[in-house]
Structure 1
Amino acid sequence: MTEHKNTLTTRVSLKTAIVGASIVTLLASSGCATSSLLEDNKRVDTKTTKTVLSEDQIVAFGRPAQALPKMPNATMVIVGEKNSYVLTQGGTEMVGLLTNLTPKNIQVDNDMNFYVPNNDGYFQGEMKLSYAKLKDEFKRSDYQFFLQNGGRECTSASDQRINAQRFCFSVPVKGAIYPQVSNLSLIQSNYRALTKPYTVSFYTQNQQSQVSRGGTNTAQKLVLLPFALAFDVVTFPFQLLDN
């Protein structure tokens, strides 16, 4: 009888120990989950934000009047009211399009947004323009030019209503940011204003870390090349028209 009682007591003690261990394990796991949840709440979220560095009004398109130091491939300049934007890649293609196509039929895409990866004075992006006129005005040589320069047909419904045809061009470009051209006043007095406002903007992308909501971006300004100096520019003999 005593032996049976001892055995029963041992079983009860073992069962109590197991239950107690289970409770401890449950509490411990709950504590880990709580700790993990707290850590998750404190986790730093990282997101990419787009920051506009500068916007400028375009005055004219042209080329440097003289060779620019350290910029042997500078073939085209976007003349802005604030700064000058020298194309070092894609400029030759743009000059070819703007000087070979009939000026009154050219329309430049107004959405000229250029990416400045490191805000060190260098930018990249695309320049887009379209060329349209009545179908019966096109010649075989026109179509040959479009084929050679990557033109694609992009005739719109409004073009079709007047029996016109449109071709679009997209030129990848890279460039550098220079100060305002030296002869800006002369250009503004002699060069006819563009018939619609053309704006160029520059932006960068930052990885922003924020522990809580409501984080604010640090304001940034567009940086020019440290060796960039003002220069004269020769404008192209055409005016961009809005259809």
Structure 2
Amino acid sequence: MNQSNQLRASSTKSSYIAKSVMSSAVIAALLVSSGCATSSLLENENRVSSKTVTNVLSEDQIVAFGRPAQPIPNLPTGNMVIVGEKNSYVLVQGGAEMVTLLTNLTAKNIQVENDMSFEVPNNDGYFQGQMKMSYAKLKDEFQRSDYQFFLQNGGQECTSASDMRMNAQRFCFSVPVKGAIYPQVSNLSLIQSKYRALSKPYTVTFYNRTAQNEVTRSGRNGAEKLILLPFAVAFDVVTFPVQLLDSIAN
């Protein structure tokens, strides 16, 4: 083979090697890219599956706030009852604190948050959440005993700019509560006929949280029914004074 042929053969071989190297690099890049895409997809799927969906189990119109007329078996005394059109919601923790606040503070100065929403983690008849209210009046109307009451019952100053412009002062209360869901009270008709309705709609909502992938598999969409306590029985309730009922919703 002459020198010219040798040069051409060497050039062809070098070109073939270069193309092979480039092909390998392209394939490796594609594999890496594919792997990244697959990893990203898996991460996205993991993120999706870890999300939760809030399911509203029930909404009820509040009729009154009160206390059981007689002790309820297997429950502590001093409970507060949220009387609903559908069911009764007995506060087994935090009820005594709410009764203390609602019966010792001047009714016309009390404001309870309209957004009353409680979680029912296992939909087994037990709920939990926070009840929030505030108490406000003109600064010169407060007495030393008022401040002492706030200190003893967890009141926190939350005076707003609007309150300050009116020379008023406001204190907020947030009471952790747990409760049990009972059937409609026995004397609901008497309560509705004897007392005025609240001055505006007042709703209590119950919900739980479900993993998104569980919702997809089961087809549940939040239209589940709220489960009452097993063997729960109805009872009579004694409502708070009508003036308090009316002021709470204002």
State the TM-score, normalizing by the size of structure 2.
0.81
Paired residue for 1:147, among 151, 154, 176?
151
Match of 2:85 in 1: 81
* Residue in structure 2 matched with residue 202 of structure 1 by the alignment: 206
Stretch moving more, 122-131 or 30-39: 30-39
Aligned to 2:139: 135
What does 1:155-170 correspond to in 2, within 5 Å?
A: 155-170=159-174
Question: Equivalent pairs: percent with the same residue?
Answer: 64
Cα distance in structure 1, aligned partners of 2:222 and 2:191: 36
Per the TM alignment, residue 86 of structure 1 is displaced from its structure 2 partner at its CA by 1.0
Query: Structure 1 residues 16 and 82 mapped into 2: Cα distance closer, same or farther (>3 Å)?
Result: same
Aligned length, in residue pairs? 240
Looking at structure 1, the residues matched to 170 and 178 of structure 2 have their Cα atoms a distance apart, in angstroms, of: 26
Q: 2:113 aligns with which of 106, 109, 118?
A: 109
Task: Determine the C-alpha separation between the residues in 2 that align with 1:89 and 1:196.
Answer: 27
Counterpart for residue 70 of structure 2: 66
The question of whether the paired residues in 1 share the 8 Å contact of 2:118 and 2:127 is answered with yes
The Cα of 1:154 is off from its aligned counterpart by: 2.2
Per-residue deviation at 1:38? 6.4
Q: Normalising by the residue count of structure 1, what TM-score does the alignment of the two structures yield? A: 0.83
| Cα pair distance change 1:161/1:7, threshold 3 Å | closer
Contact 1:78–1:85 (CA<8 Å) still a contact in 2? yes
Whether the aligned pair in 2 keeps the contact of 1:73 and 1:89 (CA below 8 Å) is: no
Deviations 1:156-182 (A, max 9, x none): 344344433221111111112111111
1:230 aligns with: 234
For the residues of structure 1 that align with 2:166 and 2:3, how far apart are their CA atoms? 110
Letter in 1 for 2:118: F
Q: CA deviation at 1:102?
A: 1.6
Q: Which amino acid aligns with 2:58?
A: S
Cα separation, 1, equivalents of 2:233 and 2:194: 23
Change (3 A) 1:20 1:161: closer
**1:20 corresponds to which residue?**
20
CA distance, structure 1, for counterparts of residue 151 and residue 222 of structure 2: 46
Which of residues 130, 134, 154 is equivalent to 1:126?
A: 130
Q: Quick one: which of 180, 202, 218 aligns to 1:176?
A: 180
The 10-residue stretch of structure 1 (168-177 or 232-241) with the greater mean CA deviation from structure 2: 232-241
Matches for 1:26-105 after TM superposition, within 5 Å? 26-27=26-27, 29-31=29-31, 33-34=33-34, 37=37, 40=40, 44=45, 45-46=48-49, 47-72=51-76, 75-105=79-109
Please report how far the alpha carbon of residue 188 of structure 1 lies from its aligned counterpart in structure 2 after TM superposition.
Answer: 1.2
| Pair 1:81–1:21, CA change in 2 (3 A) | same
> As a proportion of its length, which structure holds more helix?
2
d(CA) in 2 for partners of 1:163 and 1:224?
Answer: 47
Counterpart secondary structure, 1:209? helix
User: For the aligned residues, what is the CA RMSD?
Assistant: 3.1
Please say if residues 130 and 169 of structure 1, whose CA atoms lie closer than 8 Å, have aligned partners that are also in contact.
Answer: yes
* Inter-CA distance 21–180: structure 2 relative to 1 (3 Å threshold): same
Which segments of 5 or more consecutive residues in structure 2 lack a partner in the other structure? Answer: none
Over 3 Å counting, the alpha-carbon distance change for 1:24 and 1:160 in structure 2 is: closer
